[in-house]
Structure 1
């Protein structure tokens, strides 16, 4: 089966249990991250495991590193603000943009190998026939998309002329879809498969014929007060890419071949969009990923 292992039961407790904080040795190094929630659909397990892998590549045996979850689930905009607050989190993973790269230190190593830009949509079953007639961007622009108001994807869709309704969190977007307030909810391909299965609602399906594509990358973002941590994570990720452990972890949670097979991406009508919110530094750092992913015609 595919991709994120739903509600993964792997034992991250020894690493991620915030209750452990008081028990850590004085010589240890803590890295604070957001806590997991059901709405993560186990993606938290992947990103925290990847962060732990990167840190392990540059570990000081005398001063071991522990990931510690902070309390409280916040929307992305507030999490990014927490990165630079005293006592806030140290590292967050999210889609990059020029603005976000000004708010925190980006570690410009794509965590999903660029597949975040392949977007398919959750729709209502009773609108399937209408979407079957979509052959171009103007056709799709007749419908209303839903996105988080603080997600870069919201800005990308608006920049490309799509009617988009923004709201504060995932649950509300799903409710708006069910109520007919929005017509479709574009999701990264790997997200859509897991979320449709988890929702387990016969009225909500994955639209089968359209693929949106634009360059989009997930990065680790680090507090501006900890540049040495950002450098360490980047160094560790690059080591993991070179020795194959990054690819092995990615394959453990995500299989692009399985995604392509499940969603028949190569058979879909591709609508390419422009993403004006990538910095020059990010475009340069991700040039090889963009070239590899530019396979949709």
Structure 2
């Protein structure tokens, strides 16, 4: 079975976990997958999924996406993407040290950086938190924060921020807080087009449910990100839960 899947040019290593999960799950289910990688900026990934040039993409689950694409209803990262830790400006940790709850954080009136149409933007809006979406290449947010341009902080998933901190040493990882909302990545299949994933819905659903049941997903989450929870001192952070509506 041939699947055309993306590599995101802004964060090319993000694909590694999802590609290995797909390949291993399908092989263990008795199939021979051929994964064809196409490199696109994230904005174009969505366009290519819409027109069926891509077979599938991993995205944070939402009702809108469930309607627009074909969801495979298996959570992929043990909700690590829904546990958000902040990149902040160097020297500004003292601002966040005062925060004990959502209202404390809201009162800081700081502005989060987001890519256009990110699910985070919906969550921040629902919780009356200030944010601004970056048109074009969202990766520019990393460099704009240290220069005091537009944004005060950048929320990132536990599965993202450790590796990104090596790329952007001009940013600090905030020490005390983690913002949690109840969402995870799922695979979404394109419905129509040359490489539409729809025809593999049954095979992929069975393979991924088996990957969940067998512990394969847990093993790969541990392989790629298991140490991040320790590095980020997750257990001792103040947990701030965000509503989705």
The alignment partner of 2:91 has SS state of helix
Q: Is 1:151 the counterpart of 2:122 in the alignment?
A: no
- Identify which of structures 1 and 2 has the higher relative contact order when contacts are C-alpha pairs closer than 8 Å and 6+ apart: 2
Q: 1 CA distance for matches of 2:73 and 2:66?
A: 10
Q: State the partner residue of 1:166.
A: 133
Q: CA deviation at 1:245?
A: 2.8
Q: Pick from 95, 102, 105 the counterpart of residue 140 of structure 1.
A: 105
Decide whether aligned partners of structure 1 residues 248 and 167 sit closer, same or farther in structure 2, where only a CA change above 3 A counts. Answer: same
Query: So what's the TM-score if we normalise by structure 2?
Result: 0.89
Decide whether aligned partners of structure 1 residues 246 and 137 sit closer, same or farther in structure 2, where only a CA change above 3 A counts. Answer: closer
Q: CA deviation at 1:33?
A: 0.6
Paired positions, count: 237
The alignment partner of 2:40 has SS state of coil
Q: Is 1:271 the counterpart of 2:240 in the alignment?
A: yes
Q: CA deviation at 1:244?
A: 3.1
Q: CA deviation at 1:210?
A: 1.3
Q: 2 CA distance for matches of 1:182 and 1:206?
A: 15
Provide structure 2 residue ranges, at least 5 long, that are not aligned to the other structure. none
Q: Is 1:179 the counterpart of 2:139 in the alignment?
A: no
Q: CA deviation at 1:223?
A: 0.9
Provide structure 1 residue ranges, at least 5 long, that are not aligned to the other structure. 1-28, 277-297
Q: State the partner residue of 1:98.
A: 63
Q: 2 CA distance for matches of 1:147 and 1:57?
A: 37
Q: 1 CA distance for matches of 2:163 and 2:40?
A: 24
Greater strand fraction, Structure 1 or Structure 2: 2
CA offsets per residue over residues 63-111 of structure 1, 9 Å max, x none? x320001243332xx423422425x100111111111122211111111
Contact in 2 for aligned 1:105/1:227 (Cα 8 Å): yes
Contact in 2 for aligned 1:41/1:194 (Cα 8 Å): no
Q: Is 1:68 the counterpart of 2:39 in the alignment?
A: no
The alignment partner of 1:126 has SS state of coil
